[in-house]
Structure 1
Amino acid sequence: MEEDVGYIIGFRYKCERCVEYNGTVEESEQRRTSFNAWDVGCLDRLPDYVSKEFLFILTHRSGIDIRLVDRLADDLVHGKGFSAAAKYIRQAHTTKFMVYQLKYVSLADARRSSRVSLFGAAPVPEKFGIFDDTEKYCGAVPSDHYLRDVWRTYFSELPVLEVEGVKWTREDYLPRVHQRWDGTVLAGDASFKFANIIRRGATAHGERTRPVHGIFTVFNEYEQVQ
């Protein structure tokens, strides 16, 4: 799973001039006195042929592989939800951690056995460590809340193309693609399963509303869903 991990290495800098400036203006006009070495919005300022090569979606303090976000789409279509996706990622990371641990123990035991046969007593090998040890394996798993926020950013906020000066997100683009499909209708099916489990975020009154009440899918002769 290491190909799904991105590391952002940098520092947080202090702006001395900002401190001086804040002493001369009112509180509403003051600036931040520190800033990070990276900027989540930097990709928006780059040309598409450069920014589209970046394989990660940057959030406030971390990043996640776009391929992992793409796999979320399949989970959502099958009604698994973000909790199931987070559980799957945790299982995959835990399994890989256990494999590394077994390989380390096997290698350490083999080296210790050979050393005993040649030099007598051998030193005890260093302990492998735990999953979330920040100085060794440094394992981390995104929560279902994080995956939900990333998906909302990926689907509803990140632009995929620009048309006449207007940036389209995937939420804007996909319905227009569906409208352009043609062909003979081969089959249709009405479903209320997904509509029943789709809910908007809770409001201030604690209510979760349904954005749709039913889904009707149509297949054309090219086996495309309309």
Structure 2
Amino acid sequence: MRQAYRSALVTGASSGIGESFARLLARRGTSLVIVARRGDLLDALARDLVERYRVAVEVVAADLTDPGQRAAVEDRLRADPVDLLVNNAGFGAFGAFADTGLDDQLRQIELNVTALVRLTHAALPGMLERGRGGVLNVASMAGYTPSPGSATYGATKAYVTAFSESLHAEVAGRGVHVTALCPGFTRTDEETPPNLLWLRREDVAHAGLAAVEAGRAQCVPGAQYKAALPALRLMPRPLLRAAANRMWRQAAATQSGSA
């Protein structure tokens, strides 16, 4: 049975897929808590959503890699529970692991994994107590393949998918849904028509919301990526690694040539 969410907290809401989540939810009449580092962008988004859709929008400017700022968001979830938590905030660093700074690698883990786990732990007990709610965790198709050049990012997204599917099983039958959203390449800066490779951010957000409302454990948006997933699972790992390595070397060469 599909759920209708009266309130939601969306992280990474100032731009990209997170902004699309906020707009789609506001259009449905959901009151919002929007979280991101850039308070000015959040304020502008909040004004627009209130004017367009007449919904309540609370702005929380917070860097979720900062333990103190992240704790304030956790406390907000416990003190004033929401029906839906959308863990969308995340980032990836591109480059060979040994050649990039350790701080960037650890920040990816802090945001993509630690913040997601902590916010989920803050929100989920209250949802289970009330017998309703949803957690939508944004993972990636990168979690299903070797990711040379973005090894830490791919590993964090594999964690998010496994974590979400496990929680989905734990809470089954208790009125709460946990879903992993696993998009492929998505245009986050502009709404261009989809093509064979790239998805529109609004389509990704719409698919994710539909999946968590329907109680599905996983959502892979886009027909091209739905078709690719079984092949990725069946392909021998040595072949998959070799293909990923060729793509990484080509991308690195292109980047080097344009520098």
TM-score interval, normalised by the smaller of the two chains: under 0.3
Structure showing greater relative contact order (alpha-carbon pairs closer than 8 Å, 6 or more residues apart): 2
Q: What is the TM-score normalised by the length of structure 2? A: 0.23
Higher helix proportion (structure 1 or 2):
2
Q: What is the TM-score normalised by the length of structure 1? A: 0.26
